């Protein structure tokens, strides 16, 4: 059965291998006819509704009770409860599953991973509703970004893992010539890819699947069982994912405890306690800086892949398409209300203004223009709701409010307000807040830099903007920089800075490619050079550190 799955998905997998190699456009899961299909949308909604007020079924060992308490950012109370399991029992069950999973070999493991992805794809609309009502993503954004693109990233991780395991042959005959006519020394060697141990994936409240799918796939394909600890506010999409994985594993004749769900018990500290257990040898985490940094310094027994909050920047010097630039930037700020790890936080403009053809647009006017563009995008509530989604956490709004309260009212360019959504009267929504701020005030604003907010920072010159961005990146952490400039020496300066600081640099985006969006099989994100992330989606280190090769050799007959 198990190697059948590899055969079954071989066409897709061959295309994935080519895509990983060439890094051109390929998005195998992004054909989403169901978004256009009302009955598919309704079926997904129905499947989601069936989880409400229900007990989520998972036949995991060590169950000690049930817990749950998700409330949709759109209002509805989910009232779903999940099994709470003793982490030591889950770890023990996971460890027991390792030998057979290792022995099955790369093809069988990859076949199972591909089938899990394909199964999740079939549940796409159900997952999209589950994501919407936990993360606050709009349904279309969930379906596209958190299902289709997360599956793309998962497939990319499986593919990179397979490629890494295939860098070494499974056997070789080593034959060393000897002098003086003696027969050669001959050794038959086997090389087996073996896992590091048990992997722990800790997911966040806003992009749970997008971080988890590549992490789960990279670990599982390389032989590691995976415990997934979801954020208490976004358990359902992860529970659906784990259930699908367990079902595929069981059908393929493997131990379902290779993937299990670890939900918080009443202490709320199960992630902390589990992360330091010696059996946990890989940790993937996306979320708050403090916990991420704690993992990096404390969980020294594990390979730790962390994605923290990032202060991404835009440096505006000059543009050939002022309107296109404004629209692109405003879309980036609005998309999912700035709750993406890749959302822009700082917009740096030189005091001289923005150069456009032969004119200079003063900073005041640029601020007004950007505010207006944002306002225009969120003018019609139904369209705004699609773009902004809802807010996952009240905490980020509280931080933004606190920052606005401290500001001189003149520096508040735009105050975020709730949308009037008849369909979701209780939805927690907020249009973007735009503030103008001195660079010197950034440190105090740091906590507020998540969610529906962006800061416009004035500097002495574009090169000073780059220097500011470099300092913020190296001190606070940053993933990406968008530069608008028509001046090639400045572009070169930005490029050098990007290589130094590990920022993904985008230049002159003025159409429908946003700095927040990164494409599976093509884009790299997060480098480990600055503190924002020490995992890169998906470079060789992302998979290589999850397994090693063990050698068995014996003399071979001459």
For the segment 518-557, give every residue that binds a copy of itself (CB under 8 A). Answer: 519, 522-525, 527-529, 536, 539-541, 543-545, 547-555
Q: Which of residues 108-127 bind a copy of itself (CB under 8 A)?
A: none
Q: Which of residues 387-426 bind a copy of itself (CB under 8 A)?
A: none
Interface pattern 363-392 for a copy of itself (x via CB under 8 A): ------------------------------
Minimum Å gap between C-beta 508 and a copy of itself is 6
Taking the CA atoms of residue 406, residue 427, residue 39 and residue 247 in that order, the dihedral angle to the nearest 10 degrees is 80
Q: Using the minimum distance from each CB to a copy of itself, give the nearer residue, 23 or 471.
A: 23
Helix H, strand E, coil C: the string for 281-325 is: EEEEEECCHHHHHHHHHHCCCCEEEEECCCCEEEEECEECCHHHH
Q: Which of residues 259-298 bind a copy of itself (CB under 8 A)?
A: 296-297
Q: Using the minimum distance from each CB to a copy of itself, give the nearer residue, 282 or 334.
A: 282
Minimum Å gap between C-beta 177 and a copy of itself is 8
Q: 547: which strand partners?
A: 195
- In 320-411 the beta strands, taken as DSSP E runs, fall at 344-350, 354-356, 359-361
Q: Using the minimum distance from each CB to a copy of itself, give the nearer residue, 56 or 537.
A: 537
Name residue, tokens 């020490």.
Answer: 534
Minimum Å gap between C-beta 235 and a copy of itself is 30
344 belongs to the binding site for a copy of itself (CB under 8 A): no
- Binder of a copy of itself out of 65, 69, 99, 362 (CB under 8 A): 99
Minimum Å gap between C-beta 113 and a copy of itself is 18
Q: Which two tokens stand for residue 116?
A: 């899990």
Q: Give dist(CA 240, CA 235) in Å, integer.
A: 9
Q: Using the minimum distance from each CB to a copy of itself, give the nearer residue, 278 or 362.
A: 278
196 belongs to the binding site for a copy of itself (CB under 8 A): yes
Q: 306: which strand partners?
A: 285
DSSP letters spanning 168-230: S-SEEEEEE--STTPPPEEEEEEEEEEE-SEEEEE--SSSHHHHHHHHHHHHHHTT--EEEE-
Decide the pairing of beta strands 433-437 and 359-361: unpaired
Long-range contacts of 433-438 (CB under 8 A, 24+ apart): 433/400, 433/404, 434/333, 434/367, 434/370, 434/371, 434/374, 435/403, 435/404, 435/407, 435/411, 436/367, 436/411, 436/412, 437/407, 437/411
Q: Using the minimum distance from each CB to a copy of itself, give the nearer residue, 183 or 409.
A: 183
Q: Give dist(CA 348, CA 169) in Å, integer.
A: 51
512 belongs to the binding site for a copy of itself (CB under 8 A): yes
- DSSP conformation class of 380: S
Minimum Å gap between C-beta 222 and a copy of itself is 10
Minimum Å gap between C-beta 117 and a copy of itself is 21
Q: Which of residues 23-42 bind a copy of itself (CB under 8 A)?
A: 23-25, 27
Minimum Å gap between C-beta 458 and a copy of itself is 25
Q: Give dist(CA 484, CA 481) in Å, integer.
A: 10
Q: Using the minimum distance from each CB to a copy of itself, give the nearer residue, 226 or 302.
A: 302
Region near a copy of itself per CB under 8 A, out of 64-72, 250-258, 268-276, 491-499: 491-499
Minimum Å gap between C-beta 300 and a copy of itself is 4
Name residue, tokens 């042959």.
Answer: 169
Residues binding a copy of itself: number (CB under 8 A): 74
Q: Which of residues 154-193 bind a copy of itself (CB under 8 A)?
A: 163-164, 167-169, 172-178, 185, 187, 189, 191-192
Q: Which of residues 423-482 bind a copy of itself (CB under 8 A)?
A: none
Q: Which of residues 204-263 bind a copy of itself (CB under 8 A)?
A: none
- Binder of a copy of itself out of 39, 300, 440, 488 (CB under 8 A): 300
Q: Using the minimum distance from each CB to a copy of itself, give the nearer residue, 44 or 502.
A: 502
137 contacts: CB under 8 Å, gap ≥ 6: 131, 145, 146, 206, 336, 389
427 within 8 A of 381, measured Cβ to Cβ: no
Q: How far apart are the first and last CA of the chain?
A: 38
Minimum Å gap between C-beta 169 and a copy of itself is 6
Q: Using the minimum distance from each CB to a copy of itself, give the nearer residue, 79 or 553.
A: 553
- Binder of a copy of itself out of 504, 516, 520, 532 (CB under 8 A): 504
Q: Give dist(CA 454, CA 483) in Å, integer.
A: 16
100 belongs to the binding site for a copy of itself (CB under 8 A): no
- Binder of a copy of itself out of 364, 420, 443, 496 (CB under 8 A): 496
DSSP letters spanning 39-76: HHHHHHHHHHHTTTTSBPP---SSEEEEE---B-TTS-
Q: Using the minimum distance from each CB to a copy of itself, give the nearer residue, 313 or 403.
A: 313
């Amino acid at each position: 059965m198990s190697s059948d799955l590899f055969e079954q998905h071989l066409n897709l997998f061959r295309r994935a291998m080519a895509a990983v190699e060439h890094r051109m456009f390929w998005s195998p899961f992004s054909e989403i006819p169901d978004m256009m299909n009302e009955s598919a949308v309704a079926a997904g909604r129905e499947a989601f509704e069936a989880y409400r007020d229900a007990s989520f079924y998972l036949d995991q060992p060590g169950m000690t009770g049930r817990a749950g308490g998700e409330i949709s950012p759109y209002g509805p109370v989910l009232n779903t409860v999940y099994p709470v399991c003793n982490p030591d029992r889950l770890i023990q069950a996971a460890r027991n599953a390792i030998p057979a999973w290792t022995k099955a070999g790369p093809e069988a493991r990859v076949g199972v991973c591909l089938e899990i992805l394909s199964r999740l794809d079939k549940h796409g609309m159900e997952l999209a509703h589950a994501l919407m009502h936990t993360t606050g993503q709009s349904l279309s954004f969930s379906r596209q970004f958190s299902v289709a693109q997360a599956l793309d990233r998962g497939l990319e991780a499986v593919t990179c893992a397979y490629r890494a395991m295939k860098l070494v042959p499974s056997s070789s005959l080593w034959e060393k010539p000897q002098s003086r006519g003696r027969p050669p020394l001959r050794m038959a060697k086997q090389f087996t890819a073996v896992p590091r141990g048990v992997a722990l994936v800790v997911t966040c409240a806003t992009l749970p699947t997008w971080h988890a799918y590549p992490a789960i796939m990279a670990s599982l394909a390389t032989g590691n069982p995976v415990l997934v600890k979801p954020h208490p506010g976004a358990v359902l999409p992860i529970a659906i994912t784990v259930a699908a994985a367990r079902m595929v594993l069981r059908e393929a004749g493997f131990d379902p405890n290779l993937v299990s769900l670890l939900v918080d018990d009443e202490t709320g500290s199960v992630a902390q306690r589990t992360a330091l257990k010696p059996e946990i040898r890989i940790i993937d985490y996306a979320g708050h800086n403090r916990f991420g940094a704690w993992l990096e310094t404390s969980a020294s027994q594990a390979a730790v892949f962390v994605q923290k909050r990032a202060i991404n920047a835009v440096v505006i010097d000059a543009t050939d398409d002022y309107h296109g630039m404004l629209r692109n930037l405003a879309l980036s700020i609005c998309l999912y209300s700035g709750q993406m790890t890749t959302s822009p936080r700082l917009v740096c403009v030189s005091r001289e203004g923005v150069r456009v053809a032969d004119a200079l647009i003063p900073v005041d006017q640029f601020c007004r223009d950007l505010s207006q563009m944002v306002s225009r995008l969120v003018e019609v509530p139904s369209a705004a709701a699609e773009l902004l989604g809802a807010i996952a956490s009240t905490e980020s709004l509280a931080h933004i409010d606190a920052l606005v309260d401290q500001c001189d009212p003149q520096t508040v360019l735009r105050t975020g307000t709730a949308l009037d959504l008849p369909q979701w009267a209780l939805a927690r929504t907020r249009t973007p807040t735009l503030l103008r701020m001195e660079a010197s005030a950034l440190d105090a604003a740091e906590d507020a830099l998540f969610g529906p907010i962006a800061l416009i920072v004035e500097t002495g010159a574009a090169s000073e903007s780059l220097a500011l961005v470099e300092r913020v990146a190296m001190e606070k952490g940053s993933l990406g920089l968008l530069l608008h400039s028509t001046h090639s020496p400045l572009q070169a300066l930005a490029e050098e800075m990007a290589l130094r600081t590990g920022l993904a640099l985008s230049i002159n985006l003025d159409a429908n490619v946003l700095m927040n969006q990164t494409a599976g099989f093509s884009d790299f994100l997060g480098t480990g050079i600055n503190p924002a992330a020490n995992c890169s989606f998906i470079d060789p280190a992302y998979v290589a550190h999850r397994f090693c090769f063990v050698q068995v050799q014996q003399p071979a007959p001459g």
